[in-house]
Amino acid sequence: MLSVINSGAMLLLRRCRGLTLLSTRRLPVAPAVASCAVRLRSSSAEDQGSYQRAHRPGWRHAVAGLLAGTGAVLAYGLHQHKAEQEAAYPIFSQEEVTSHRSLQDGVWVTYKGGVYDITEFVAMHPGGDKILLAAGGALEPFWALYAVHNQEHVLEMLSEYKVGELNAEDLKKQKTMQTLDPYSSDPERHPVLRINNLKPFNAEPPPEILSDSFITPSAFFFKRNHLPVPQVDPATYLLQVEGLPGGLLTLSLEELKTRFPKHTVTATLQCAGNRRSEMNAVKQVKGLNWGIAAISNATWSGARLRDVLLAAGYGPDVARRAGHVQFEGLDKDVTGTTYGASIPLNKAVSEEGDVLLAYEMNGADLPADHGYPVRVVVPGVVGARNVKWLGKIIVSADESSSHWQQNDYKGFSPGTDWDTVNFKSAPAIQELPVQSAITAPADGAVVDRSSEELTVKGYAWSGGGREVVRVDVSLDGGKTWQVAQIRSSEKGQAPEGTPPTGRAWAWKLWEITAPLPPGAKELKIVCKAVDNSYNMQPDTVAPIWNLRGVLSNAWHRVNVKIREDEREE
């Protein structure tokens, strides 16, 4: 019996540490701190005393339960206290919650209508400061991806930080209102994504998340849309294959899945404008201001394009009559014009090309933002040719006539401007050059001298199936170099074998831990990758600058400050 009483006492003290005394936890900006982590808007000691007196019955019942050893009385006391506690919570607007997004202002989050001040918990979070990505917003989108949070003890822990309730109006706003806006039926996106453009939706994940996983979770995979996301009924979906005489085929989604062998390819997709922001820093360009995360890696499954073309009647002799395979999406603008692109025929029909008509991403149906129900995946080729929501395949002697093939996604000399540019003079981008970037630490980060060493992380990839064989990292702006460790699998898993020559479709993640140089006040971190054709990244942006800001692959640079120990200063 004594152990039961002691257990009950510990539970009570854990949940209601301030039943008779005000909690000593840090006060948020507006409300005062009261028992059991309840924060009330009170302006005087008299108000706080009134609150305590109002809650004394709950305390008396709890003590009576402990002394009598009766769980029923204890449960009643806790239940009554909880009910009184919930009724007393202040109401906050989403604007008030959003204003608490840093350790300086306090870190507030919402969960199922509750408002929580988790400032003190940030340092204890097992996942590190990634919890700050949810600051000022809702926890649900993050917890949905990490099932470990769906446990009772986690919810109990969270309850100790509750400070209020979200007002009813803002709760309703969480459900997007349906309007006549052509983008109103777009899917929900993860709030961690950094939005470059809302309509059409274009966003990238924070770099520090990007290098966490060899396979990028679908929710974090960068989003590049040119038009509204179409609503496609899988039951009525049809894929048309047509073009030169001698070939014609119409496939339902079910036929695509059952008539052709399913193949799986791990491939990295990169937007042509990845790292455009660095070109903007040299001279303004036209295009979305992408950072370093318009690149992601996934496993894709579906039918091989080659198999489908053969079934449509385009056999080995097609190369004598055609030179390109065009793709049209189901996404349209207000005039009915669809997104389109094309790739060379030899890439499409090659057994080593691995071009897929994908209907799965990371082992599940394609998400809406990534082309549900079917998209083209062209490994080693710029993302713009990986047409989503695929509606039509055309075997042709000509390239696609679409704007995005003819008048966009092309590279030019730094001396070419919008008055002199001739898009017909440059080929459409297909394979991309070798690339690498630093995902951690962030530019402008501060590290303590006492840590003695620094871990630098990043990604590296090269187009055309060329394998990255080395990543060089410098901490002094390129004066001296060290070779990073590279991996092609999830951390802790056995590395995959060397891919066949010309079929290294997936990126490499790299990492290096190095001692902090003695006496240094700042680190100028630089990375550069080398592929198996010994292609290397250029050292600066200016010589590769172009008016569209594409093909940005200069050495990536990050500056980090070193903070000396205060006792040494």
Q: By C-alpha distance, which of 224, 171, 165, 174 is closest to 40?
A: 165
Measured in Å, how far apart are the chain's first and last C-alpha atoms? Answer: 58
What is the DSSP track for 11-41?
A: HHHHH-TTSSS---SPP-SSSEE-GGG-EE-
Q: What Rg, from alpha-carbon coordinates, does the chain have?
A: 29
Q: At what angle do helices 71-88 and 2-15 cross, to 10 degrees?
A: 0
Which one of the listed residues 17, 101, 149, 487 is annotated catalytic? 149
370 is an active site residue: no
Q: By C-alpha distance, which of 235, 294, 243, 221 is closest to 397?
A: 243
Which one of the listed residues 125, 146, 534, 563 is annotated catalytic? 125
271 is an active site residue: yes
Alpha-carbon span 550 to 485, nearest angstrom: 28
125 is an active site residue: yes
SS3 117: strand
Q: Which residues lie below 8 Å from residue 469, measured CB to CB, with a gap of 6+? A: 530, 531, 532
Instruction: Give the helix ranges, DSSP H, for 315-438.
Output: 345-349, 403-406
Largest CA distance in the chain: 94
224 is an active site residue: yes
Enclosing H/E stretch for 80: helix 71-88
Alpha-carbon span 134 to 112, nearest angstrom: 14
Cα angle 257, 258, 261; round to 5: 80
Buried b (16+ CB within 10 A) or exposed e, 4-28: ebeebeeebeebbebbeeebebeeb
The dihedral sign for the CA sequence 492, 495, 496, 500: positive
CB-CB neighbours of 177 under 10 Å: 8
Q: How many residues does the chain have?
A: 569
Which one of the listed residues 39, 61, 81, 224 is annotated catalytic? 224
CB-CB neighbours of 496 under 10 Å: 12
Alpha-carbon span 223 to 108, nearest angstrom: 27
36 is an active site residue: no
Q: At what angle do helices 2-15 and 45-68 cross, to 10 degrees?
A: 160
Which one of the listed residues 409, 459, 466, 557 is annotated catalytic? 409
Which residues are 487's β-sheet partners? Answer: 509
Which one of the listed residues 271, 304, 375, 527 is annotated catalytic? 271
Instruction: Give the helix ranges, DSSP H, for 162-275.
Output: 168-173, 207-210, 253-259
Would you please indicate which residues are annotated as catalytic (active-site) residues? 125, 149, 224, 271, 409
